[in-house]
Chain A
Amino acid sequence: MIPIRYNLRSLMVRRVTSAMTAMGVALVVMILFILFGFIGGLQRTLLMAGGTGNWIVLSKGAPAEGASGIGHEALNLLRVRPEIATDDSGAPLMSPELIAGLNIAPDKRRRQFTYLRGVRPIAHEVHRNMRLVNGHWPIRGHSEWVIGQKLAARFPSLAPGTTFHYGRRTWTIAGVFSDRDSARESEMWTDFDDLNEDAQIKESRCNSVRLVMRPGMAASFKQALAKDPRLPLDAVTEADFYADQAKFADNLRSLGLVVAITLAIGAVFGGMNTMYAAVARRGRELGVLRALGFDRSSVLLSFVLESLIIGLAGGAAGEALALAIGYAIGLNSRQMSVGTFLFSYRPNATAAAAGIAMAAIIGVLGGLMPAWRAARIGVIDSLREA
C-alpha cells in the first residue's frame, strides 16, 4: 500500500485547492450538525417530560389532550384501580388535568400559543420532577398561575407578580417552575377548580389523567380498560406519549436531510473536480508508483484515501464551525419555538457522528471515480509524459 505520507504531502502541495474543497464539505457538515442539534434539543425537551412510571390516560381515540374528555364516572372508577400507586396517606397518585390554550405573546402580530393546565395539589406528587424556582404554587380561589422556566425566559414581562387577563378574570403570575428542561416548562399551570369555574364547564370532566403505576401492573391496568365499557379510555406511558409527540421532529429532520444531502451531492461534485485535477497533474507520479511495483488497487486506495482525508478534514472543520457559530450567536441559550414547544439547541454525539459520517461519504464518493481513472492510467503512457 502507498504510504499515507504521500497523500498528506500531496495535499500540502496544493493546499489552497484542498482547503477550498474541504470548506465546501465543512459547510454541508455544519448544516447537518446544527440541524441535528436542533432536532436533538426538541426531542430531549419532549422526552424529558415523561416521568418514570407515569402514565397518561385520555378518552378513547383522542390524538391529543385538548381533544380528550374524561367524565366524572370514569374518574371515580379509575380512582379505585389497584394498579395505581398511592401516597403515604393512601390517596391514589392520580392527577386529573384540564387544558386550555392562550396566546401569551405581548405583540399582536406574533403568536405564541401556550397550554394552560389546571391541576389539583396531588399533581405535584405525580409529576415528581417539578420544582418551584421562585414564588409559590397557585392557591385555589386566588386566580393564580405558575409559569414554566422556558416560557419565563422567553417572555421576561411575565415575571411573578404581573397580571394577565384571560377568560373571565385577571390572573396573577405567582411563580416560576422547572421540570428538568422538559416540554412542561413551555406551559402555564393553575388551580383545576379556578380554571374549571372560569371556563364554566358544565359537565364534570377533565381532559386527561396522569397517574403513577405500580411496578408490574401495567398489563392488568390496560386489560381493565379494555374490558370495562364504562372506561372508554386509552392509556400509555408518558414516555411513549411524548415520543409520539416528538414524531413531528422526524419531519423536520427529513426536510433538513433533503437539503443537506442535496448540498452534499454538490460537494461530491466539487471533490471530484479537485481529485480529477490532481490525477491529471500527477500522471508521471502515478507512472513512477506503478513502475516501482504498486498495483492498481494500491493506487485506487491511495486516491480514495486522499479524498477521504479532505472530507474528514472538512467534517472536523464543519463541526468546529458549527460549535463556534453556536457560541458566537448564543444558540445554546436561545429558546426556539415550534408550535407550543420551546426548546434549546443541543449539539450531541449523534450530531457529531452524523457530521463525520456525511463527511466521510462525501470524501469517498468524491474520490472514487478519479481514483478509478488514476488506477487505469497506463504506466508507459504516463512515464512518456516525463
Chain B
Amino acid sequence: MLVIAIRNLRRQLRRTILTALTVALATFIFTILVSVPASMDRIIDDAAKGLRLIVTAPNAYKLPVRYREAIKGLPHVTACAAEIQWGAIYQDLRDPIIAFGVDSDVGLVYSDAEYQLPPDAIETLSHDRRNAMIGSVLMREHKWHLGQQIMLRNPGDPNLTLTFIPVVEVPAKHAPNAFIFRRELLDEAVKKRYGVDITDRASFLAVRVDRPENISLVIDEIDSRFHNSEAETETLTESDAIANGMSALGNVRGIIYSLCAVVLMTVLLVAANSLAMMVRERVSEVAVMRALGFGRGHVAIMLLGEAAMIGGIGAAAGAAMARVLFGGGITLGAVVGGAGYMEVRPEVALEGFIVAVAITFLSAAIPVIGALRIRPALAFRQVV
C-alpha cells in the first residue's frame, strides 16, 4: 500500500509539491508565532523556580535605594540588591538595549549555579567597573565576544556614552538578552553630565527569600512595611513581575493565537481542496480496487496515508526551516523591558509538525468519506 501511495503522489507531482509547499509555509509561520508566547512562558516558568521577589514602586516618583537596608532586616530575607534600568542604544535608535545597573549585593541575590555560570562568575563584575554580564543571544546577535569593548549611549544624548567589557556570557536558557553592569558607572556619568544624583534611585529591588513557603509572607511584610511611606511598594514574585511586564505588550498573545487559528484554517482549505481533486480524479481507481476485493478500510488507509505523507513532508520542511532559522533565538528589541525573546525549541517545532499533519489528515476526511461511499458498479458505469 505504501508503494502504491508513493507512486500515486508521484503521478501528480506538481500538485503534490504545491500542496506540500503550502503546508510547509503555514507550518513555518505557525511554529514561529507559537514560539513567541512559548518563549516568554519559558522565561516565566524558569523564574518561578527561584526564590526571588521583585520590589517596585509603580505609583511613586522613584524607588529609594535605601529601602534595601530595611528589607534586608526583615525575617526570611537573605539578600536584597538594588537595580537601575537604563534604556540605551548600541549604534543607533534601531538597536535598543535594556541594560540593568546592579550594586555589589547582586551576587547574594543571584547565584552562579542558578544561571549555570562558572563559579565566581558574578563576582568578576567587581574586578573592573566596566565589566558586564551579557546574555548569549544578545552577544551572538551583535557579534560581541568576551573581553571586547562595547559602547552604549543614551538615546537622546550622544555625550552620555558608557564603555563596557563583557566578562561573563549568560546562557540563553536563563537570560538570553541580559545586559548587566555596575551601576556606579551610570551614577557617575549622570552626575557629571546633568548634575543629578541618582544613587538613591532604583528601578526595582531584587530580594532573595530563604524558603519557598515564606515567599507570600515576605511579600506581605515588605508591602506593609512601606505602606503610607514616600514610595509605597508593590512586591511580586520574579515570575509574576516578568508576566506583569509582558502584559504591557497589550493584546499580543491574543493576536498571535488568532493568527495561528487563521493559518491553520488556510492550510485546511488548501489541503482539502487539493485532496478533494485527488480523490475525484481517482474514482475509477477506487472502483477497480473495490472490485478486486480491497475493503473500504484499505482504500481509506491508502488515501489518508497519501494525505498524511503530503502533510508530513510539508510540515517537516516548514518546522525544520523554523528551527534552523530561529533555533538559536532572537531578541525582540526593547519589548518587555528587555526580556523580549523568541526561540524555536525542538518541542515547539515538533508541536508545529504534529498540528500541521493532523490538519492535513483532517482535511482529507471529507473527500475520503465521499470516496468510500462510491459503489463499484456505479463507478464502473462512469469508467466504461
Query: With A20-B276, A110-B244, A265-B25 given, is the CB distance from A67 to B269 under 8 Å?
Result: no
Could you tell me if B247 and A67 are in contact, using CB atoms closer than 8 angstroms?
A: no
Is B155's CB under 8 angstroms from A67's CB?
A: yes
Report if B28 contacts A (CB, 8 A).
yes
CB distance from B112 to the nearest CB of A (A): 30
Query: For A262, what are the chain B residues with a Cβ–Cβ distance below 8 Å?
Result: 25, 28-29
Query: Which residue among B61, B251, B259 has the maximum number of chain A CB atoms within 10 Å of its CB?
Result: B61
Closest to B248 in A: A111
Complex CA gap A336/B236 in Å reads 25
Q: Which of B26, B58, B243 contacts A263 (CB 8 A)?
A: B26
Q: Which residues of B contact A64 (CB under 8 A)?
A: 156
Cβ of A365 within 8 Å of any chain B Cβ, yes or no, is no
Size of A's binding interface in residues, CB under 8 A: 50
Cα–Cα distance between A108 and B61 once the two chains are bound (Å): 18
Tell me how far the C-beta of B126 lies from the nearest C-beta in chain A, rounded to whole angstroms.
30
Closest residue of A by beta carbon distance from B231? A167
Question: B269 contacts which of A23, A109, A167 (Cβ < 8 Å)?
Answer: A23
Q: Residue of A at shortest CB range from B24?
A: A266
- Chain B CB within 8 A of A230 CB: no
User: Interface residues of B, CB < 8 Å — how many?
Assistant: 47
* Interface: B3 (CB within 8 A): no
Other-chain residue from B19, B25, B250, B265 in contact with A339 (beta carbon distance below 8 A) = B250
Are A266 and B270 also in contact (CB < 8 A) when A110-B244, A111-B248 are? yes
List B49-84 residues whose CB lies under 8 Å from chain A: 58-61
CB-based contact A276/B269 at 8 Å: no
Residue A30 at the chain B interface, CB threshold 8 Å: yes
Flag whether B381 is at the interface (Cβ < 8 A).
no
With beta carbons under 8 angstroms apart, the residue of A21, A67, A108, A337 that contacts B273 is A21
The answer to whether B274 touches A111 (Cβ under 8 A) is no
Question: Helix, strand, loop or mixed for chain B's interface?
Answer: helix
> Is A24 an interface residue, CB under 8 A from the partner?
yes
Q: Is the CB of A273 within 8 A of B274?
A: yes
Q: Say which residue of A17, A165, A263 sits within 8 Å of B266 (CB atoms).
A: A263
Q: Of the candidates B18, B156, B230, B262, which one forms a contact with A30 in the assembled complex, judged by CB atoms under 8 Å apart? A: B262
Is the pair B266, A24 in contact by a Cβ cutoff of 8 Å? Answer: yes
A277–B266 touching, CB < 8 Å: no
Min distance, Cβ B132 to any Cβ of chain A, angstroms: 23
Taking CB atoms, residues of chain B closer than 8 Å to A339 are 248, 250
Interface string of A245-276 (1 = CB under 8 A from B): 00000000000000100110111011011101
Mask: chain B, 241-280; 1 = CB below 8 Å from A; 0 = not: 0011101111100000001001101110110111011000
Q: Is B155 a contact of A276 with CB atoms below 8 Å?
A: no
Central interface residue in B156, B245, B272, B273, by most chain A CB within 10 Å: B273
Is A10 in contact with chain B by the CB < 8 A criterion?
A: no
Whether B15 sits at the interface, judged by CB under 8 Å, is: yes
Q: A135 on the interface (CB 8 Å rule)?
A: no
Using Cβ atoms and an 8 Å threshold, which residues of chain A touch B25? 262-263, 265-266, 269
Q: Which 6 A-B pairs have the closest CB atoms?
A: A270-B270, A103-B58, A266-B22, A337-B250, A20-B273, A61-B156
Q: What are 16 A-B residue pairs whose CB atoms fall within 8 Å in the complex?
A: A20-B269, A20-B276, A24-B270, A102-B58, A109-B243, A109-B247, A111-B245, A111-B247, A165-B232, A199-B61, A259-B259, A263-B25, A263-B266, A270-B22, A277-B281, A339-B250
